[in-house]
Each structure stands twice: as C-alpha cells, then as structure tokens.
A and B are shown apart, each in its own frame.
Chain A
Amino acid sequence: MPKVARLKSNISELEQLKRLLLGPELEQLEKLEAALQKLDFQSQDQETIIARITPLFEKILLERLENRDSETVKILSDHLAKIISESSKHDLPRLSQALQSVIAPAISKEIAANQDVMVDALYPIMGSMISKYVSTAIKEMIESINEKIEDGLSFDKFKRKIKSKITGVSETELLLEESSDALISSLFIIEKESGILIAEAHLKDKEISDPHMVASMASAIKDFINDWIQSNTQKSEVQILSYGNATLYIESAGSVYLIAFLDAEPDYEQRSGINAFFASIVKEYASFFQNFNGDSRAKEITALSEKMQDYLTGQAKMGTVKKERNGKNPMKLFFWLFSLVLAGYFAYLLNGWYVEYSLEKMLKAETGQEVRVEKEKGKFLLTGYVDSMNRLYEIETLIKTKSGMPVVNRLFVPIKKVEEKIDAYSSKNLLPVKQLKTRVKVMERDFNRSLKQMHEEIFSLKQALDRSQKRVGKIKSEMSGKIERLKSEKQQFKRIVEIKKEIASKLDDRFKGNAFYRPKELALDFRTLNLFPAGKMSYNDEAIARVNEAFATYLSVLSEFRDYIGQIVILGHSDSSGSDDENRKLSQKRADAVKAYLLKQPEIEKYRLDRYIVSKGMGSRELVMINGVEDKEASRRIQVKFNFKENAILKQLQKIVND
C-alpha cells in the first residue's frame, strides 16, 4: 500500500502525533506553509505539499528516536500499545503474523545468546507448566491403576493377584507392565560367527534398509561387547542394546542368534515369548543352520521367513488386542455380554419357533392335517385332532423321522369320525344274519368233525406211545443187565491180564537162563533133550529126569495162581515120518507117558495140581525146522503150557472188543 494512502487512513492519529511531537516545528511549518502558499505553493494541492513535507517529518522523528529522546519514547510507547490493541480488534491474524516474523527470531537469538538467562526467566512459567502436566499425567495413571486394582470381579484381577503372590511383584508394577508391552518391528536370524543374515521379517512400513549390513554391524557390536564382558571375567552375553526408543533384544542358540528390534525394552514375559519362539525355530532348523553356507536361495529360508513374519504379525495383533482389552470399560463388557446372552436367547426362541412352524407346515403338506407342534423339554408335543388312527401314527412317525427327537403324541381322533368309519365299514362288510347262521353251522360241523378225528389220532398215538415205552423199558433192563455183566467181565479181564503179567514175571525170574523156557508163550519146550527115539513112545530116563526138574519149577509158580489156572497141558509131538494119524496117536502116547511119569514124582504131588494136568497129542503139526530142514530129533518132543479158567470169557471179551 502506498505510504500516502496509509497516512490518509490514519490521518487523525497522525495529526495528533504530529502536534504532540512536533508542536513548535509544526507551528513553524504552518507559518512556513502559509508563507509558501503565499509564495511558491499556491498552485499546489494539499496532498502534494504533504508528500513533500513528510520525508522531513520522518527524518526528524528518526533522529529523536535514535537519540532516545525520553519524551518521544514515552509518547510512542503509549500510542504503540493503543495501536496494537486497536489493530488486534480489527485484524488479529494479520497482526499475529506480523509480530511472529519479528518475535520468533528474536527469541531464538536471545535463547542462543543467553541460554541460562532465558531459562531462569522462563522457568517460573514453563517449569510450573511442565510440572503441572507431569503431575496430572501421573495422577491420572495412578487413578487408572487404582481403579484397576479396585476393579470388581474381573478375571484379570484375580490373575494379576495370583501372579503378584507367586512372583512377589506388586500389582501396581504388573499393571504398569500390562500397559507397556514393547512392539517388535523386525526380527533377524543371524549366523553367529560370520554375522551373515539368514532370515528376516518386518512389520509393514517398518522395513530396515540394507538389513545385511545392519546384521553384520549388529554382530560386530555384539562381539565387541561380549569380548569386553568376557575380558571382565564374566561368562554372560549381551542381551539388550538400547539407543533412545530403539531396543535390540539378542538371544543366542547354537550356531545362530536372534535379534528382535523393539520400540521399548521387553519385559520378562515378552522375552520369554520371544525365546520360546526362537527355541522352536532353532529346534526345527538346527540342521539347516549348522550347514548354512550363505546362500539365501535355500528353500528353508522362505519357510523360516514366513514363520517369523507370522510371529511378528501375531505379536503386533496381540499387542493391539491387549491395549483394546485394557481400555475396555467393565460396564461396557457387561453390557456386551448381556446383549450377547439376550441375543442368544432370542435366537434360541426364534429357532424353536421356526422349527415348530416348519414341522407343522410339513405335516399339513404331507398329510393334510392341521396339528400343533410344540417343543417341550427336549421332546415334541403333538396336539390336535386327526381323521384316523392311521393318520395319528403316520404323523408321529413323520415327526420322529424328520427331527430325530422323541415325540409325545396327544393327538385325538374325534368320536364322530370313528363312528363314521364304523358305519362305513359296517355298511360295506356286514352280511345278513341268516347267512351268517348258516355259515356258523357249517363251521361248527366242520369243527366237530375235525375234533373227532383229532381225538382218534391222539388215542392211537397214545397207544403207540405206551408200546414204545414198554419196549424201551425192556431194552433198558436188558441193557442194564448186559452192562453189569460186561462191567464184571471187564473187571475179570483186567484181573486176568494182570495175573498173566504176574505169572510171566515170576516164570521169567525162575527160568532165567533156562533153555527149556519160552517166555513169549509162557511154556516149556524140551526139543533139545532127544527125549524119544524115532517111532517110540518110551522116553530117555536121563532126559525125563530133567523134564521133571523143570516141570516141578513150572508148577511151583503156577501153584501160587491155582485159582486162575484152568489146565496145565502136556503136549506130545512126533516127527514127520509116518502118517498123520499114526503120528497123532504116537504123540498122544508120548504125552500120556510123560504125564504118568510126572504125576508119580513127589516134587509134583506136593503141589496137588493133579486135576489140572492133562495131555494132548499134537502129531506132526508143529515140526521143528532149521534153515528149512526138519530137525526130526527136536520135533520128537514134549511141551508144557497152561491156560486160564476164564479162557472162554477171555475169548468172549476179545470178541466184544473187536466188535
């Protein structure tokens, strides 16, 4: 804006100012102006004259201010304040902008030049202000903590109380921890010795530029610190590196270590979480880590990075959820819970109503019956009227099939309907009474006839049964007699077998090494004695003495079993010379001769076995053959055998057994 115009707008103030400041000069100027008007400026207008004079005026004002003229300063001060006040009323933004451009650099300059002075000057205002804000913030935090501590019956409260008891950490500290979980923005898995980055993961918009260099530098820094720690005779490793808000949490395992980039130092719980995740990674990829050769194209790295990314995203979400949860009002939670329960109840009712409605509709469509279906205590209650009993059961079956639930059937068939049904049936099926009587008579006659036939058949069957019973009785008594006899015979047979074994044992014992004794046959055979000359019945005396001796021994054994012995047989034999008849007679004579001799011997008499001893001629039936040639001397011999009394029984038993 041109100066002239500005002056014009503030003309009254300027005039006032002029008169105050330049009173004498103005008077002189007025005089001069009057003179000039009279002299040179008569033709000039007033504005032209002011424009010519103003520079003179400004020059004078400047000189006075530079000389710190007290009067001028005083006047300016009063009027400046007034001008600023007025200006702020008319156009405050413009005034602020004008002052800002001057004041801000001036303050900055002053602070830079005289910092301590400025601090002293500002402290009473800024210090108390900061203190107030901090106090308010702490107060609000404490109130919040106290509210949480005093918070009603929340699960978190009990959880916190238990945790406080176990760990010994106060509830307030636990609450502070709850409200300050650090956010992990990046994760690195780095090979421990080489410092080469194996895998990385970042939250969105939190990527680290040049991660491989960062990994290497982090390794170098870690190694540097670890070297320093170990040179101070400590065995531990660096775990936390912090700078400003950035924190690196480092955890080593095997050939690798993990770096988590966080926005604050992680608490114990968070470290445990990171460590657990890292442990799972190391366990899964231990072999890969051991053999890692710096090749980032390995397929394991892709899978590993995805896992790390999932973990990062998960913890970020958890953090958000935790914050949201911490910020929730218990009343709100209760309200939502109540709303949820209410909604669930309505949904349940609605569902029940819908099911009932659907079933009723289905019954109407399929059976044409209007029936009420209600769900009650896990069962479907059916009420109403149906046309017939068949419908009644059909509906029940339909509901059971469709719903799979038990049914309480309270459906009715109206009496009127039943009567209608009966009438309809009667009119359709009943015959005239006369016809019915005839039919009954015929049926009665047929029945009586059948009954008579049945009686006759029963009688004849009863007779046959009696006969059969008698026959069975007879067979039974016969069989029992036979069984008894068989049992007795079996006992005897067993005894005979035992006796035979006993006799054999004793004979074996007595005739041990005797050439005349034949163990298999339990017999004596004197073939080696040359007892008889050819064709003669007279025996050799010397030989017969030996027969006697052996026979006596034989009898001594048999006498102990006399109750079981049937016969002791002396068998006479001939050779093959002569006819069979002659040989039979000759052999009988020989047997008789020997028997007569033996019976006279005192050794035989003492056993009183005379009645048992018999003789028998065998002829030439049993010749003695040696290598296919008859030994005639041997054939002319005597044998002694015995048999049991029960020989016949034995034969019979053997027959039974064989049969």
Chain B
Amino acid sequence: MIRKKILLLGDFNVGKTSLIRRYVDNTFDDKYLTTIGVKISKKRVSFHDLECELLIWDVEGATAMKSISHTYMKGASGAIFVCDVTRKETITNLDEHIKTFLTLNPNANYVIAYNKSDLLTIQQREALDISGNTFLTSAKNATNVDTLFITLAKEILL
C-alpha cells in the first residue's frame, strides 16, 4: 500500500470541506478543524493494479487576517486548489496559493477545482475556459468530485 499526503487549499468558504465530505465518508470530527486549523481524512483509490491511500489534509482556508500554516503544507505529494466560481477574488488568489505550495513542495502535483458550479447557469458554465488539470466541481451535486481526486492520484503515482 502506498500512502500519500495531499492538501486541499484555497480561500475561506470555497467549499473544501464539502468536497471532502462528498468524496470521503471516513473523517475526523470537524471540531479539529476549528481547533488546530486542519482536518484529516483518508480515501483509498485503485487504478492500474495500483492501490493507494490518500491522506487528505483539509487545511483551514486563508483569510485576510490569517494565512495558511506552511508547516501543514510540507511533505505533501499533491494538492487540490479550490476556489468559488461565484467569488472572483477566490479565483485570483489561486496563483498565490499555488506559488506558495510549489515553493515548499517543488516536485508535487496539483489540480484545480472551480467549485460551486451548481450555482452557474449553463451559459456561464460553457463560457468558462476549463481544461487540463482544472475541473468544474460541485460538492452539492457531486459533479467531478471523484474525477478531481482520481486525477490527482494518477498524477502523483503514474
């Protein structure tokens, strides 16, 4: 069994925890998140005869008053950067999050989740230029949630 640490990073209230809750059943109580700023979940994924357990660190979202702890970011093999498609500043801030993460983990992989896509109209969704390692996701209706995690796992292991 191969185990990898991955992070969920993004601004406050972009839906990171909801994405995990949708993807993972087994989680620690949410009170850890409010206490120390991180909630850890795990999920087992299999593909191409490879079995892997993702230890998912849901790091408390950054706010103007509080930045994300760098210590939590260290040692991660990958990250999911999450933004809220309805809040432009959360999309703008992605670059900063990615830069910080890659500084600490130069060899890590990542994917991007444009979350809360259920709030977009069909026209808005089609207007968005989404490709490569970026996904339109919705924790509410489970759009692309599995794909998001599986893609990252493949990026890390293959």
Q: Give residues in A with beta carbon < 8 Å to B.
A: 191-197, 212-213, 216-217, 220-221, 223-224, 226-227, 293-297
Contact = CB atoms under 8 A, between A and B. Distances in A.
Interface in B24-57: 26, 28, 32, 36-38, 40, 42, 53, 55, 57
B131 interface: no
B67 to A, nearest CB: 11
Nearest to B74: A193
Contacts of B75: 191-196
A216 B1 CA distance: 16
Given A213-B28, A216-B57, A294-B3, A224 B37 contact: yes
B36 A212 contact: no
A192 B36 CA distance: 17
Interface of B: 1-5, 26, 28, 32, 36-38, 40, 42, 53, 55, 57, 69, 71-72, 74-77
Contact of B1 (A217, A220, A226, A297): A297
Nearest to A215: B55
Given A296-B1, A297-B1, A216 B71 contact: no
A313 to B, nearest CB: 25
Contacts of A195: 5, 55, 57, 75
Nearest to B73: A193
A232 to B, nearest CB: 15
A587 to B, nearest CB: 118
Given A196-B55, A216-B55, A227 B3 contact: no
B141 to A, nearest CB: 28
Contacts of A297: 1-2
B55 A227 contact: no
A194 B5 contact: yes
6 contacts: A194-B5, A196-B5, A213-B40, A223-B72, A224-B36, A226-B71
A582 to B, nearest CB: 124
A293 B3 CA distance: 8
A193 B73 CA distance: 8
Contacts of A192: 75
B77 A212 contact: no
Contacts of A295: 1-3
Contacts of B37: 224
Contact of A212 (B3, B32, B71): B3
Contacts of A213: 26, 28, 40, 42, 55
Given A196-B75, A213-B26, A294-B2, 9 more contacts: A193-B75, A196-B55, A213-B28, A213-B55, A217-B40, A220-B32, A220-B40, A221-B36, A293-B2
B69 A217 contact: no
Contacts of A223: 69, 71-72
B45 to A, nearest CB: 13
B69 A194 contact: no
A2 to B, nearest CB: 57
A515 B64 CA distance: 125
Contacts of A220: 32, 36, 38, 40, 57, 72
A561 B57 CA distance: 123
B69 A212 contact: no
Given A193-B75, A194-B77, A216-B55, A227 B2 contact: no
3 A-B pairs with the lowest CB-CB distances in the bound complex, closest first: A193-B75, A194-B75, A193-B74
A191 B32 CA distance: 21
Contacts of B77: 194, 294
Contacts of B71: 223-224, 226-227
Most A-side CB within 10 Å, residue of B57, B75, B76: B75
A212 B3 CA distance: 9
Contacts of A296: 1-3
Contacts of B42: 212-213, 216
A191 to B, nearest CB: 6
A194 B1 contact: no
B55 A212 contact: yes
A640 to B, nearest CB: 111
Most chain B beta carbons < 10 A, residue from A192, A224, A293, A296:
A224
